[in-house]
Amino acid sequence: MGHPAEVEVLSKALSGIGVDEKSLVSILTKSHHEHKISIRRGCSQLFFEDERQFERWNDDAIKTLKGEFKRFKNAVVLSLMHPWERDARLLKKALKKGPQQYGVIIEIACTRSSEELLGARKAYHSLFERSIEEDLAAHIKGSERKLLVALVSAYRYEGPKVKGDTAKSEAKALLNAIKNADKRRLIEDEEVIRILTTRSKPHLKEVYEQFKKICGKSITEVFDTALRVDANEDAKKALTRLITTQEAGNLKEVTTKYAHKIEERVKGAYKDVLLGVLARGEMNGQV
């Protein structure tokens, strides 16, 4: 059987997110036929003997492994694309995958500038010969439809000017909507949708600060409690993701958080690409 240390290194290189190419090359290029047989026998999570004592791979495990190799290719392709095309394709992919990927739509809409989001919408027109708004409206059947359509359609003011009185008034409006969440779903409240999808990032930051002063708790804490009465899990996730992304506000802090997670969990060339694109602010939707 292969040396236990080699088997352990190989197992680690092939498990988790991405693959450790350097470790693979080091082991496999130095292994002759008999040595590879012993290594296969040591990697029981990837290979096994069937009822005929034929040594074969585990189809499910290999399928997963192929997906991990594919991650690097996808990351490279996305990084080479024009940013508008990349976002348009990520939006399309998220829409196809359904509610579990709507967070990608929200993060792109919240972290891009108005010009960048408009560019992604133009690219969507060229690539798919229809608008992202049209596809969202046609494919999303839940109560989150109105929120997501409004979010990608917005062309937000991006200057630093914030009206304190207006922010305070809108913080009160959000709090009132939350208090009445048992009577009307938050995600269907016109005032909630208007504030969250049209206001600038500096203005929303002020709204959330005013909310905390009035309520004594952050808006994410209060939303989490209020949404428990809503039976629509997809709507909960969409609204919670939107609020969390907007409240984070400081993209540098979000970037640092992502970087730490990548360092801890991702391997090989895929990690290098992700850290590189993250440093240039192109991370959303690629992991």
Q: Say how many CA atoms lie within 13 Å of 116 toward its Cβ.
A: 14
- Computed over every residue of the chain, the mean pLDDT equals 82
Q: Is the pLDDT of residue 134 over 90?
A: yes
47-49 and 55-57 beta bridge pairing: antiparallel
Collect all residues with Cβ–Cβ distance below 8 Å to 224 and sequence separation of at least 6. Answer: 240
In which region does residue 7 sit, left (phi positive, over 0), alpha (psi from -120 to 50) or beta (all else)? alpha
Give the tokens for residue 273: 């690409």
Quick check: helix, strand or coil at residue 254?
helix
pLDDT at 71: 83
Residue-range domain boundaries for the chain: 4-57, 83-252
Residue 113 φ then ψ, to 5°: -70, 170
Under DSSP, the state recorded for 48 is E
Distance between CA atoms of residues 169 and 165, nearest Å: 6
Q: List the structure tokens of 100.
A: 């579990």
Q: Is a pLDDT exceeding 90 seen at residue 263?
A: no
User: Quick one: pLDDT at residue 187?
Assistant: 81
> Hey, what are 143's tokens?
């109560």
d(CA 11, CA 19): 10
Reduced to 3 states (helix: H, G, I; strand: E, B; else coil), residue 248 is helix
- In sequence order, the β-bridge partners of residue 48 are 56
Backbone conformation region of residue 217, classed left if phi is above 0, alpha if psi is from -120 to 50, else beta: beta
* CATH homologous superfamily for the domain 83-252: Annexin (1.10.220.10)
Tell me the chain's radius of gyration from C-alpha atoms: 24
CB half-sphere exposure, 141, CA atoms < 13 A? 1
- The string of pLDDT tens digits covering residues 34-88 is 777 777 777 777 777 777 877 777 788 778 888 888 888 888 888 888 999 999 9
More confident residue, 233 or 213: 213
Does residue 90 have a pLDDT over 60? yes
Average the pLDDT over each of 19-28, 127-136, 199-208, 218-227 and give the range with the smallest value.
Answer: 218-227
Q: Find residue 56's DSSP bridge partners.
A: 48
Give the model's pLDDT for residue 255.
Answer: 60
Residue-level pLDDT at 249: 56
Per-residue pLDDT at 285:
46
pLDDT of res. 277 = 66
Nearest to 109 by CA among 268, 208, 246: 246
Cα-based torsion angle of the residue sequence 192, 197, 201, 202 in order, rounded to the nearest 10 degrees: -50
Burial annotation 265-286 (CB, 10 A radius, 16+ → b, else e): ebbbbbbebbeebbeeebbbbb
| pLDDT per residue as tens digits for the range 137-194 | 999 988 889 999 999 999 999 999 999 999 999 999 999 988 887 666 778 889 999 9
Write the DSSP assignment of 165-225 as a string of letters: HHHHHHHHHHHHHHHTTTTS-GGG-HHHHHHHHHS-HHHHHHHHHHHHHHHSS-HHHHHHH
**For the purposes of burial, counting CB atoms within 10 Å of the CB of 62, is it exposed (0-12), middle (13-18) or buried (19 or more)?**
middle
Q: Where are the beta strands (DSSP E) in the chain?
A: 47-49, 55-57
